[in-house]
Structure 1
Amino acid sequence: MNTFPDGKRRQRVRAWVEQPRVQNGIIGLILVNAALLGLETSSSAMAAAGGLIVLLDRAILAVFVGEIALRLYAHRAAFWRDPWSVFDFAVVAIALLPATGPLAVLRALRVLRVLRLLTMVPSMRRVVGALLAAIPGLGSIAMVLLIAYIIVNAMQSYTEAEQRDTKRAVEAAREHIEADLHAEMRSLRDEIRVLKSLLSGNASNPPALAPDRTASERR
């Protein structure tokens, strides 16, 4: 007997939560909350109106908690099958963590409440969905770029090795040619020295004149 009325009540709650006025109101509160979170980082703003800023932040957080509770009541188990709903729940739950203790550092994640715009605006959800769907393709592109980088790096290393081998071969050939030239120059200098010594020896001992054949023949 209680199932049908409860089901009707859930349908009414779901219809009320999902109507455009409520959704637009939540979006407006998200934007206001983003501005309040920015003001909390300003020491002058907190000194001037810190109490009001904190009060408004808590009031908006209470509205967020109430909205999540109504969605949990309306959707029941289906709420946890929707990734966007789970994201909303996690963002609001982080804001409820105590400001002191080991979990206090997680309160810095309150800024994630601004990301609730992604769950509230359908066009943003489509953009995020498209980006997430493109991740496998981006991974493939990254693999192709990695392979290309490895190939280019290997070719560059191989080219550098070839250049080093060529340089060593050229240096060895140059050293061999220089050694041969030095040997030839030494040999040429030795030959010139011998030739000079021979020429100087012939100059000091002139050769004898050949006899006058005409005179001998006459005798």
Structure 2
Amino acid sequence: MFISKIKKTVDDPKFNHFITIVILLQAASLALETFQELDTYKVLFESINIFVIVVFIVEASLKIFSTYPNVTLYFKDGWNLFDFSIIVLSLIPFSGGYSTIARLVRLLRVTRLTSTSKEMSAVVMTIIKSIPSMINILLLLLLVFFIFGITGYHLFNDIDPKHWDSLPRSFLTLFEILTLANWTDIMYIAIDVNHLYGIYFISFILISTFVVINIFIGVIVRKSEEAYKQIESHISVTPITQRDIG
């Protein structure tokens, strides 16, 4: 009976909303600490810090108890492991030269918003699932950069040494062109010498920006759909699993 009440509390959306509010409180506290004129409120900020830690510990304890007697189920969930690791890091006493680490740990607590929101969880899962495909796309983009970087060095080294005097500088120039930031200024320096040089810049933009980047976006969209389906299936299965545990 006691375990079933804990399960009901943990599954209650209001409980999840409360945790979200606590995380936002921590975020507000971290932001206000950066204002020197608010140094007189350090005690308040420290109290908020302790309150947040206590809430996280209570939350983790309730979630662990809700899986009783199979408490290992709690640690099989990736998000629970993420939350638990933040709690452990928060309990480590950092002082002296390590005080900056303590602040970074508090900042990590704000990232818990990704586990309290279904939409943000889907975004994180999308990024993780997209890594293998993104590596292949980045390798393709690197190959494009290498080919156009070498070509640009030989074509424009004498014309525009500011942007093309070495291969690393050529890579930086190509990255600037890729972002479409003032790329025409770089192109006009070259086409003032020979109008045919415009083919180089237009072909690079077509290949890198409109082809490779669109493939990259396509992978993200596909993985995003898969992540949402996985989260939806997890939500629909979870209540049944918990009843079976009880």
Query: TM-score normalised to the size of structure 1?
Result: 0.61
Contact 1:97 1:103 in 2 (8 A): no
State percent identity of aligned pairs: 26
Aligned equivalents of 1:101 and 1:88: distance in 2?
26
| CA apart distance, 1:12 | 2.7
Report the secondary structure of 2:93's partner residue: coil
Contact 1:33 1:60 in 2 (8 A): yes
Instruction: From the superposition, tell whether residues 64 and 156 of structure 1 become closer, same or farther in structure 2 (CA, over 3 Å).
Output: closer
Aligned mate of 2:143, from 135, 144, 147 = 147
Contact 1:97 1:104 in 2 (8 A): no
Matched residue, 1:58 = 50
| CA apart distance, 1:103 | 5.9
Instruction: From the superposition, tell whether residues 103 and 10 of structure 1 become closer, same or farther in structure 2 (CA, over 3 Å).
Output: farther
The C-alpha deviation readout for 1:9-37, integer Å capped at 9, x for no partner, is 33331221121111000101110111112
Matched residue, 2:93 = 98
Aligned equivalents of 2:65 and 2:101: distance in 1?
27
The amino acid of 1:121's aligned partner reads: S
The C-alpha deviation readout for 1:106-163, integer Å capped at 9, x for no partner, is 3122101111110001111111111222222211111111222333455567889xxx
Query: TM-score normalised to the size of structure 2?
Result: 0.55
| CA apart distance, 1:79 | 1.3
Q: State which structure, 1 or 2, has the greater radius of gyration over its C-alpha atoms.
A: 1
| CA apart distance, 1:92 | 2.0
Task: Give me the CA root mean square deviation.
Answer: 2.4
Aligned equivalents of 1:84 and 1:151: distance in 2?
42
| CA apart distance, 1:91 | 1.5
Aligned equivalents of 1:105 and 1:155: distance in 2?
46
Work out which structure has the larger RCO, using CA pairs closer than 8 Å and 6 or more positions apart in sequence.
2
The amino acid of 2:11's aligned partner reads: E
Matched residue, 1:85 = 80
Instruction: From the superposition, tell whether residues 152 and 11 of structure 1 become closer, same or farther in structure 2 (CA, over 3 Å).
Output: same
Aligned equivalents of 2:88 and 2:32: distance in 1?
22
Gapped runs of 5+ residues in structure 2? 157-246
